[in-house]
Amino acid sequence: MVDYRVEDQFAILEINNPPVNALSLHVREGLLNGVLRASADNNVKAIILIGKGKTFPSGADIKEFSRPGKAPWLPEVGHTIESSNKPVFSALHGTALGGGLEIALFSHYRIAEKTAKVGFPEVHLGLLPGAEGTIRLPRLTGLVIAMEMITSGRQVSAKEALKFGIVDKVVEGNLLKETKAFAKSVLGQPLEPRKLSLCGVKDADQVDKYYEAALKELLKKYRGVIAPVSCLKSIRGSAQLPYKEAAELERTLFSELMSGAQSAALRYSFFAERAASRWNLPNGASSANSKPLTIKSAAVIGAGTMGSGIAICLIRSGIPVILVEQNEKMLENALRNIGYILQGSVKLGRMTVDQRSDCLRILQGAASIEKLKDVDIVIEAVYENLKLKQEIFEKLDKICKPTALLCSNTSTLDIDLIASVTSKPDRVAGTHFFAPAYIMKLLENIYGSKTSPITVATIMDLGKKIGKISVLSKTCDGFIANRMNKIGTEAAFLVEEGALPHDIDQVLEDFGMPMGVFKVSDLSGIDIGWSIRQEMAKKQGITLTLETHYVSGERYSSLADRLYNLGRLGLKTGKGWYRYNNASNSRKPIIDPDVTDMILNHCEKLRIKRRQISPQEIIERCLYATVNEGFKILEEGVAEKPEDIDIVWQYGFSFPRYRGGPMFYASQVGLKKVYERICYYHESFPYSKHWLPSDLLKKLVSHPNEVPINLWMNYTNSKL
Ligand SMILES: CCCCCCC[C@H](O)CC(=O)SCCNC(=O)CCNC(=O)[C@H](O)C(C)(C)COP(=O)([O-])OP(=O)([O-])OC[C@H]1O[C@@H](n2cnc3c(N)ncnc32)[C@H](O)[C@@H]1OP(=O)([O-])[O-]
Ligand SMILES: NC(=O)c1ccc[n+]([C@@H]2O[C@H](COP(=O)([O-])OP(=O)(O)OC[C@H]3O[C@@H](n4cnc5c(N)ncnc54)[C@H](O)[C@@H]3O)[C@@H](O)[C@H]2O)c1
């Protein structure tokens, strides 16, 4: 794992632990033994640490964190490096991150290849750089840069690292050769000034001021997240305490974080995200044995909210797009709107003026689908109407080349029904983007019963290419995301039973959701949900009234319909579940006593006896109903694994990453407890079928050994 050789009186310790040279036990042992061996060898003048393959170590081995670790620990390896009697040079390329950068900071000199990046991403795993990174970085960069880098986890370029004093030289060409050349130029110079444990923090006298300012920012930016604050405390220690005591404080804070629930969830999320990109179909095809097609051109049909956003995602990634609308006027409006959105990105510094022009150059409009005969993929995003979508797919089937993929952005409709009107159902799939499509990271890809592995591989790959996190779902009503989301439904029932919208929003926000469910509803528009409910009623041949309390034997809340009838359509009309001060263009929700009156009247009319509702009940009702549906989704094979579901929630609904996702959260609460509460709510609310307990969950609780291992995460038992 660490290859040792001596060349030109340099001991070269080449770290060889693909894919990212993580500092697992054998690497730590190899480094420790290699440095001791080189230090004792009179033929060796200097030691060079370098990574084999694509990178210098990108950190400690995160997989080791979930089992009892073994010495030598990283700080011990680090101190052996620093106290060597020979100068140690770290030659950095790729991504020198976390423990990798810490090893480099124990070295006496650091040389970086021009494209290298360095950083401390531990905060994203709910940790801090625990091998004295928080003590050593401020000694090189000063407090402000160290605070910013460590609490944000940001990777900095070699050029910036040079400016900050993190590296001593940036080189081009052969890194080892250049490192040797640099080493020769400094050989013989005293090592003591190069040992960071002997240096002070130069702006230590300013620490309280910097700490307070940074803390204020962090509390605003990372509500409820604990690791950034621990990072900050440790950096403060680096300035206030003698080196050894600061290192002890760092170790204590690191251990606290490591044993906490947030880091467990964040480490799980790291692996879940990577697991979600791997997929298996029931027919044996998988990401490992299916090759994607290359997408060189695309078309998007329907340039409304979603279609315009999807087109932006594609052109931003350099894929030329033909955007189709019903007529020239609508097309013109849509193209203008896309221009404005990209202008906004330029203003926010997310793209340059030239990049905007490049995007617009590869976007062309069309008022008919006849022009789509040569594109590699079509993504349809017209109204959510099966008949309309089928008409379009029937035409596309005739117009497009036989190899083209035909995809729909439908949020709910069965992909098999859409594919059934084409002669090539193997080429049909769902590509479900989330609004606003040019911002939200999730792409929920859907396969039907005839979708081919090549089609699946291509849409999963396309997601990656356009910067999305792709998750695969089998077709069903609502797929993973919309089918599982029971928060809105339960929240409305809770309001009928005694809570008020702002109570529920507060509890959900305290839980970590960026915005409560009623605020979200105001933002997207009360009319959206109203149309969906009317459409559903039409399908079932029923009429909804303001007194409707049951639909087909299922409990129904007409509270939102009352808002609609009052013209309270949300933010756009200045009133919805909340009131808004439209005169000052404010988006800040204000609690409205009229809404409370409306709710109380509604309950009186329907003779619903209101009661006190606890925050605990709000969380359980909103989340456990959702989790129960998640287990049904697994049971039916709609999602292949719980990690897929959790990633959908993190990236589609901004579920707090530090809670892992609803499925991981349930495992942390304890599946038995969750199951018992679901059974309790099922008894209490027999007219909501989402409380009917999932068989899979029941089995997991009563006969865990009978559940196929791939249906449940590896992390459940170990709790990370
Ligand atoms: C006594 C006290 C001791 C305290 C010691 C503390 C030390 C320290 O402060 C803590 C750390 O370093 S914490 C660590 C701080 N460092 C970080 O947080 C860096 C985390 N890593 C990254 O950010 C990205 O992987 C890179 C940017 C490195 C590469 O990106 P890319 O090129 O797109 O590649 P990719 O697809 O992302 O990964 C490829 C494969 O490698 C896998 N893998 C990756 N890193 C791993 C690791 N550290 N480990 C294990 N595995 C790791 C990854 O799972 C995947 O395998 P899979 O089988 O497909 O799942
Ligand atoms: N809005 C969301 O939040 C959201 C999120 C995910 C998925 N979706 C799904 O995306 C699809 C589009 O939703 P939207 O919100 O963008 O709707 P929208 O009403 O904003 O846009 C639909 C567009 O399709 C155009 N159109 C209709 N028929 C057409 C035709 N024959 N040829 C060309 N263009 C045609 C319309 O003119 C309109 O501009 C729906 O299937 C919806 O369920 C919506």
pLDDT tens digits for 659-707?
A: 999 999 999 999 999 999 999 999 999 999 999 999 999 999 998 777 7
64 is catalytic: no
Alpha-helical segments (H) within 69-166 = 74-82, 99-106, 133-141, 143-152, 158-164
Residue 716 has pLDDT above 70, yes or no: no
Residue 296 has pLDDT above 80, yes or no: yes
Residue 62 alpha carbon, nearest atom of ligand 1: 49
pLDDT of residue 714: 58
Among protein residues, the one with the nearest Cα to ligand 1's atom 1 is 73
pLDDT of residue 710: 64
Tokens for 311, please give them: 């087109």
Among protein residues, the one with the nearest Cα to ligand 1's atom 60 is 274
| Secondary structure letter of residue 639 according to DSSP | S
Nearest ligand to the CA of 418 is: 2
In angstroms, what is the span from residue 648 Cα to ligand 1's centroid? 22
In angstroms, what is the span from residue 380 Cα to ligand 2's centroid? 8
Q: What are phi and psi of 603, to 5 degrees?
A: -65, -40
Contact status, residue 436 vs residue 412, Cβ threshold 8 Å: no
CA 214 – CA 457 distance, rounded (Å): 44
Length in residues, the chain: 720
| 170-185 pLDDT per residue, tens | 999 999 999 999 999 9
The β-bridge relationship of strands 363-366 and 377-380 is: unpaired
Alpha-helical segments (H) within 478-558 = 479-484, 487-497, 501-511, 517-524, 526-540
Does ligand 2 come within 6 angstroms of the Cβ of 235? no
CB atoms within 10 A of CB 114: 13
Residue 133 alpha carbon, nearest atom of ligand 1: 9
Collapse the DSSP code of 2 into the 3-class scheme (helix H, G, I; strand E, B; otherwise coil) and give the result: strand
**Among candidates 48, 43, 52, which has minimal Cα distance to 17?**
52
Among protein residues, the one with the nearest Cα to ligand 1's atom 4 is 130
**Among candidates 488, 474, 486, 375, which has minimal Cα distance to 432?**
474
pLDDT of residue 720: 38
Residue 709 has pLDDT above 80, yes or no: no
Band the pLDDT of 713: cuts 50, 70, 90: low
pLDDT of residue 711: 67
Mutation probe of ligand 1 site: the residue of 1, 15, 17, 20 with most atoms within 8 A of C-beta: 20
Amino acid of residue 118: V
Contact status, residue 27 vs residue 2, Cβ threshold 8 Å: yes
CA 673 – CA 675 distance, rounded (Å): 5
In angstroms, what is the span from residue 91 Cα to ligand 1's centroid? 19
Does ligand 2 come within 6 angstroms of the Cβ of 305? yes
Q: What percent of the chain has a predicted confidence (pLDDT) above 70?
A: 98
| 333-385 pLDDT per residue, tens | 999 999 999 999 999 999 999 999 999 999 999 999 999 999 999 999 999 88
| Secondary structure letter of residue 693 according to DSSP | P
Please compute Rg for the chain using Cα positions: 29
Question: Which residues lie below 8 Å from residue 550, measured CB to CB, with a gap of 6+?
Answer: 556, 687
In angstroms, what is the span from residue 301 Cα to ligand 2's centroid? 8
| 112-169 pLDDT per residue, tens | 999 999 999 999 999 999 999 999 999 999 999 999 999 999 999 999 999 999 999 9
CA 419 – CA 287 distance, rounded (Å): 22
Provide ipTM, 2 decimals.
0.96
| 408-430 pLDDT per residue, tens | 999 989 999 999 999 999 999 99
Three-state DSSP string of 173-186? CCHHHHHHHHHHHH
Does ligand 2 come within 6 angstroms of the Cβ of 473? no
- Sheet arrangement for strand 321-324: 363-366, 321-324, 298-301, 377-380, 405-408, 428-433, 442-447, 469-474
Mutation probe of ligand 1 site: the residue of 32, 55, 62 with most atoms within 8 A of C-beta: 62
pLDDT of residue 717: 45
Nearest ligand to the CA of 268 is: 1
Query: Counting beta carbons within 10 angstroms of the beta carbon of residue 12, is it exposed (0 to 12), middle (13 to 18) or buried (19 or more)?
Result: buried
Collapse the DSSP code of 405 into the 3-class scheme (helix H, G, I; strand E, B; otherwise coil) and give the result: strand
Amino acid of residue 292: P
pLDDT of residue 154: 98
DSSP assignment of 351-364 = S-HHHHHHHHHTEE
Residue 528 has pLDDT above 90, yes or no: no
In angstroms, what is the span from residue 434 Cα to ligand 2's centroid? 12
Contact status, residue 664 vs residue 608, Cβ threshold 8 Å: no
Residue 524 alpha carbon, nearest atom of ligand 2: 3
Nearest ligand to the CA of 309 is: 2
Question: Which residues lie below 8 Å from residue 142, measured CB to CB, with a gap of 6+?
Answer: 201, 202, 203
In angstroms, what is the span from residue 135 Cα to ligand 1's centroid? 22
pLDDT of residue 538: 87
Collapse the DSSP code of 431 into the 3-class scheme (helix H, G, I; strand E, B; otherwise coil) and give the result: strand
Contact status, residue 237 vs residue 249, Cβ threshold 8 Å: yes
**Mean per-residue pLDDT for 618-641?**
96
**Mean per-residue pLDDT for 65-86?**
94
Contact status, residue 120 vs residue 232, Cβ threshold 8 Å: no
Mutation probe of ligand 2 site: the residue of 399, 411, 431 with most atoms within 8 A of C-beta: 411
Amino acid of residue 37: R
Q: Residue with structure tokens 């009107």?
A: 421
Residue 620 has pLDDT above 70, yes or no: yes
pLDDT of residue 704: 79
Q: Residue with structure tokens 């003698």?
A: 242
* H helix or E strand, kind and range, residue 470: strand 469-474
Band the pLDDT of 718: cuts 50, 70, 90: very low
Q: What percent of the chain has a predicted confidence (pLDDT) above 90?
A: 92
| 383-403 pLDDT per residue, tens | 988 999 999 999 999 999 999
Q: Residue with structure tokens 């409006």?
A: 333
Q: What are phi and psi of 139, to 5 degrees?
A: -70, -20
CA 542 – CA 619 distance, rounded (Å): 32
535 is catalytic: no
In the set 14, 82, 113, 122, the catalytic residue is: 122
| 111-127 pLDDT per residue, tens | 999 999 999 999 999 99
